[in-house]
Structure 1
Amino acid sequence: MTIIAAFPYGKRDRSALHLAATLARSNGEAVRIVSIVPAQSRSFIASGSDLQLAAWSRERGRKAVAEAERAAADICPDVETEAVAVQARSRGKGLIAEAVDHDASMIVLGSGTEGARGRIRVSGTSDRLLHSSPVPVALAPKGYQSAPGSVIGRVTCSFRGDERSQRVLAQTAELSESVEARLRVATFGVSGRTVEPVWVEENSRRADYVRRVKAAQAAAIEGVDEIDIGEAGTPVEEAVGIGKDWKSALSALDWGVGEVLVLGSSADGPKSRVFLGSNAAKIIRHAPVPVVVVP
């Protein structure tokens, strides 16, 4: 299969290519580096301005491919890559079409050059994909870079404890197995929202919450047939992060180099498409590692 990596021609952001290369290196897939350029006019009789746009688009595509090839030679010479320029009326539609046409395992996006370094910024394109992509969408934090030869070391599943979480855990287990990485199941709690406020019998309330969450995690792990990592000698890790807000809840856990966090879509969206819920959107904004959102 193929990983689609969005390549923003003319910008300094290389985070998507770094992440795509790390994922591809981990599971042996190839990377298709895609730059979206404006589509030509659909009119039967092209005007002078249409012809100028077509020529400009072709030239922009040629330069984008050359720039992407140079970036790939510098970042991931050990990974099989192909750089292409695709004409589309929107970046989101163009990337989805590429993913469908090439049976892609996921689409990888960067966070651009704006926003806080080390955090994920959801752009207009990524927002579109996070509400319509038929394949998983991976988001790299701003400035994300991978060392030469780096691979995925651990995959963490964001576990809510509901029925949908069981399917997300199964998908996360498949991902961790495909990249030969450790698997962790983590639940995040926010005081006053998902957990009782800190001032209400703090110790007993939180202890009870952690017990219930870990029991649910253990039951979910036992119920997923794809999880056989423990049989190979590496047990599935379990963790609970609690904080006054989503940022502190995520910061309560340790995060390693080469780690990705997996989130599931909201139950309100189509089953075959990614559809981001409000809590998932907040987790993405505060995640200190790349995030993969699965349909």
Structure 2
Amino acid sequence: MTYVVGYGPHESDGGAIELACQLARAIPERVVAVSVVPQSWGTPAAAGTDREFRQWAGGVGAESAERAAGDLAAHPEVDGTAVWVHGRSVPQTLIEEAAARDARMLVVGSGSDARAGGIRLTSKTDRLMHSSTVPVAIAPRDYRSTSAVSRVTVAFRDDDASWSLLSRVAEIAQRASARLRVVTFLMSPTRRPVTSDVTHAETQVIDLWAGQAAQAQSEAKATLRSLGFDDDDLELQIAGGADWAAAVGSIEWDAGDVLVLGSSSSHRLAQVFLGSSASKIIRHAPVPVIIVPGSSVG
């Protein structure tokens, strides 16, 4: 198996390769950096122009692969290689490369407009998240790490998809010799004085959600203990806040952390826990994020 890295022809940030090599140190596999360059049109009437275009694209691809190889050379302990390929669609070509190379994971970087240490999804990354059948790992802008993956944080909600994700992430954490942290993200708007029935009802709903989250965490702890986890390698936490930035920022994040999110769900509390709000969690995550499709196995 491999880690396939999407490496842009004009890449100025080696964060994706840094993350892929960090993952490869945790669960060893070959790292393949793939640069996708535009494909020619193949129109006979434009044979001369097409030939020139292919030569230009080939030069861009070779230069990009050379830069990627230089980034990989900084990690001699990792088996890595860099290639370039033609493709009309970058996301589709990376998905095809992942299938052809038996990828464990696709690894990409953040958009160039992301702040240093932050994640910004691009249109290409967004398509990968919705189309890839293997997990997609996203590196923060300018990501650098010399540490191993020491802790895997999984976003957990009490539905079938989340339980399936939990069991798979638990196996990955054990294989990587990393601690596992189970976090339920819970929106809890700032409480106001009880001056109306509506405000009182809001307070009751928040308390109900918190109670359900605590019960689900207790059940998750029991399940993980049955899988061999103990207090030294297991953490459980409810991360609450008035908004997603506050909730994500309410817990400690360290070097060696990665955050795992599952695909969206139709669960009735999906908006509260994760579901369609995954992009909001990603936007505020200060560590690499791995998006796992519902039927994927890591």
How high is the TM-score relative to the length of structure 1?
A: 0.87
Aligned residue identity for 1:23:
L
Q: Which residue pairs with 2:39 in the alignment?
A: 39
Is residue 6–residue 107 contact of structure 2 (8 Å, CA) maintained in 1?
yes
Is residue 36–residue 87 contact of structure 2 (8 Å, CA) maintained in 1?
yes
| Structure-2 separation of matches of 1:218 and 1:66 | 50
Change (3 A) 1:131 1:204: closer
Query: 1:208 Cα deviation (Å)?
Result: 6.0
Say yes or no: does 1:198 pair with 2:195. Answer: no
Structure 1 residue ranges without an equivalent (≥5): 269-275
Give 3-state SS (helix, strand or coil) of 2:130's partner: coil
Aligned residue identity for 2:280:
K
5 Å-filtered alignment, 1:121-200, equals 121-147=120-146, 150-192=147-189, 198-199=191-192
Q: 201-210 or 245-254, which moves further after superposition?
A: 201-210
Q: Which residue pairs with 2:282 in the alignment?
A: 284
The size of the alignment, in residue pairs, is 279
Aligned residue identity for 1:39:
Q
| Structure-1 separation of matches of 2:106 and 2:227 | 24
Give 3-state SS (helix, strand or coil) of 1:62's partner: helix
Say yes or no: does 1:84 pair with 2:77. Answer: no
How high is the TM-score relative to the length of structure 2?
A: 0.86
| Structure-2 separation of matches of 1:33 and 1:174 | 26
Is residue 265–residue 276 contact of structure 2 (8 Å, CA) maintained in 1?
no
Query: 1:204 Cα deviation (Å)?
Result: 8.5
**Percentage identity across aligned positions?**
39
Q: Which residue pairs with 1:272 in the alignment?
A: none
Give 3-state SS (helix, strand or coil) of 1:47's partner: helix
Is residue 174–residue 226 contact of structure 1 (8 Å, CA) maintained in 2?
no
Q: Which residue pairs with 2:253 in the alignment?
A: 255
Query: 1:224 Cα deviation (Å)?
Result: 5.8
| Structure-2 separation of matches of 1:226 and 1:151 | 26
**CA RMSD after TM alignment:** 2.3
Is residue 178–residue 233 contact of structure 2 (8 Å, CA) maintained in 1?
no
Is residue 19–residue 140 contact of structure 1 (8 Å, CA) maintained in 2?
yes
5 Å-filtered alignment, 1:15-34, equals 15-34=15-34
Aligned residue identity for 1:257:
A
5 Å-filtered alignment, 1:191-270, equals 191-192=188-189, 198-199=191-192, 209-223=209-223, 227-230=227-230, 234-267=232-265
| Structure-1 separation of matches of 2:289 and 2:26 | 16
Query: 1:44 Cα deviation (Å)?
Result: 5.9
Structure ranking higher in helix proportion: 2
| Structure-1 separation of matches of 2:218 and 2:227 | 12
Query: 1:18 Cα deviation (Å)?
Result: 0.7
Q: Deviations over 1:149-190 (max 9, x none)?
A: x21010011012222110111121122122110001001111
| Structure-1 separation of matches of 2:226 and 2:121 | 31
Aligned residue identity for 1:166:
W
Give 3-state SS (helix, strand or coil) of 2:131's partner: coil
| Structure-2 separation of matches of 1:208 and 1:10 | 50
Query: 1:49 Cα deviation (Å)?
Result: 1.1
Is residue 2–residue 32 contact of structure 2 (8 Å, CA) maintained in 1?
yes
Query: 1:41 Cα deviation (Å)?
Result: 2.6
Query: 1:235 Cα deviation (Å)?
Result: 4.1
